[in-house]
Amino acid sequence: MPDAQQAQPNILQAQDLRIGHGRRIVAGPLTFSIRPGDIIALLGPNGSGKSTLFRTLLGLLPPLGGTLRLDGLPLAQWRRRALAQRIGYVPQSWGSHFGYSVLDTVLMGRAAQLPAFAQPSARDRMLAMVAIERLGIAHLASHSMHAISGGERQLALIARALVQDAALLIMDEPTSSLDFGNQLRVLEQIRQLRTQGVAVLLSTHQPDHALAVADQIMALMPGEPNHLLGPGPKHTVATPENLAALYGVPVEMVRARMV
Ligand SMILES: Nc1ncnc2c1ncn2[C@@H]1O[C@H](COP(=O)(O)OP(=O)(O)OP(=O)(O)O)[C@@H](O)[C@H]1O
């Protein structure tokens, strides 16, 4: 990590955080911090608590222990709108029943930055179109979100997060339903966010994607409750031994390069 980045104050800091549902602690204690420009990949088998962690970081689930601070202030003290201006979220799927167009959906990303009830401006529309073009879906701008493929919908949701101007983007398996070309395109977009000082925390079931895009990796290791390995430099966390312990299968690694 460059020195300048290390000197930046934390955006998010979790100290001995315990996460879960009701009284059941799924994982913890978790201690990590996220600074501007960090790209951190979160690995963990099915049911290990990745979504539970994201929901906790988004203020949708209360921590079951420890502390969680955004810009130094306990997360519980943040108002929802202010939180949405600081943290953007890219879900795995689009749950809306409304037939919004791709452009309208991406424009919703600007809403967090606008005064309440304000209409998006020409600049907001321009920023939305730029993001749509960056992700290669300009030809779908006027299409309904219901009338495009799952992978195209995911690209639209990533475009929506890009225009949000949030300091931290949380991405739930951002490449899961994308074809090979779009996976590389999205990983490249994520890497470019670092140059804009945006921090990204993303989950993935593909360790090779974590190695391709992240600076640091952390993993929810099996246990009662699950515990955190890392975050640390990617090649020290994603070792064959650690990945074998994480997924319960023998792992051999070969180095390949993404061009
Ligand atoms: N709403 C809920 N109420 C109670 N328990 C839940 C709820 N949602 C998830 N869980 C449980 O919490 C644990 C962690 O689930 P979570 O969805 O966070 O895992 P995950 O790592 O995101 O899994 P996947 O990779 O399959 O998406 C699991 O044991 C799950 O059954």
Q: Are residues 106 and 128 in contact, defined by beta-carbon separation less than 8 angstroms?
A: yes
Question: What average pLDDT does range 135-139 have in this prediction?
Answer: 91
The tokens for 111 are: 């809403």
- Whether 21 shows a pLDDT value over 90: the answer reads yes
The DSSP H or E segment spanning 203 is strand 199-203
Q: How confident is the model at residue 137 (pLDDT cuts 50, 70, 90)?
A: very high
Task: Name the more confident of 256 and 204.
Answer: 204
Q: Please report how the helices 122-134 and 150-162 are oriented relative to each other, as an axis angle in degrees rounded to 10.
A: 130
Query: Which CATH code of 3.30.750.24, 1.20.120.450, 3.40.50.300, 3.40.47.10 fits the domain covering 3-247?
Result: 3.40.50.300
Q: Nearest to residue 212, comparing CAs of 89, 55, 41, 64?
A: 41
Q: How confident is the model at residue 7 (pLDDT cuts 50, 70, 90)?
A: low
Cα separation of 9 and 4, whole Å?
A: 10
The pLDDT of residue 63: 96
Phi-psi region of 211 (alpha: psi -120 to 50; beta: other; left: phi over 0): alpha
Question: What average pLDDT does range 29-54 have in this prediction?
Answer: 95
With a 6 A CB cut-off, is 21 part of the ligand 1 pocket? Answer: yes
**Nearest alpha carbon, ligand 1 atom 3:** 21
**Nearest alpha carbon, ligand 1 atom 10:** 21
The pLDDT of residue 1: 47
Backbone φ and ψ of 53, nearest 5°? -65, -45
With a 6 A CB cut-off, is 26 part of the ligand 1 pocket? Answer: yes
Q: Of how many residues is the chain composed?
A: 259
53 C-alpha vs ligand 1 centroid, how far in Å?
Answer: 9
pLDDT 10s digits, 214-252: 999 999 999 889 999 989 999 899 999 999 999 988 777
- Whether 2 shows a pLDDT value over 60: the answer reads no
With a 6 A CB cut-off, is 150 part of the ligand 1 pocket? Answer: no
pLDDT 10s digits, 174-218: 888 788 888 888 888 888 888 888 899 999 999 988 998 999 999
The pLDDT of residue 257: 61
Q: Are residues 180 and 99 in contact, defined by beta-carbon separation less than 8 angstroms?
A: no
The tokens for 48 are: 């290990």
Task: Name the more confident of 115 and 1.
Answer: 115
Atom of ligand 1 nearest to the CA of 44: 21
- For tokens 């991405």, name the residue: 171
50 C-alpha vs ligand 1 centroid, how far in Å?
Answer: 8
Question: DSSP string covering 121-177, please?
Answer: -HHHHHHHHHHHHHTT-GGGTTSBGGGS-HHHHHHHHHHHHHTTT-SEEEEESTTTT
ipTM of this complex? 0.98
What is the domain partition of the chain in residue ranges? 3-247
Angle at Cα 60 formed by Cα 9 and Cα 28, nearest 5°? 65
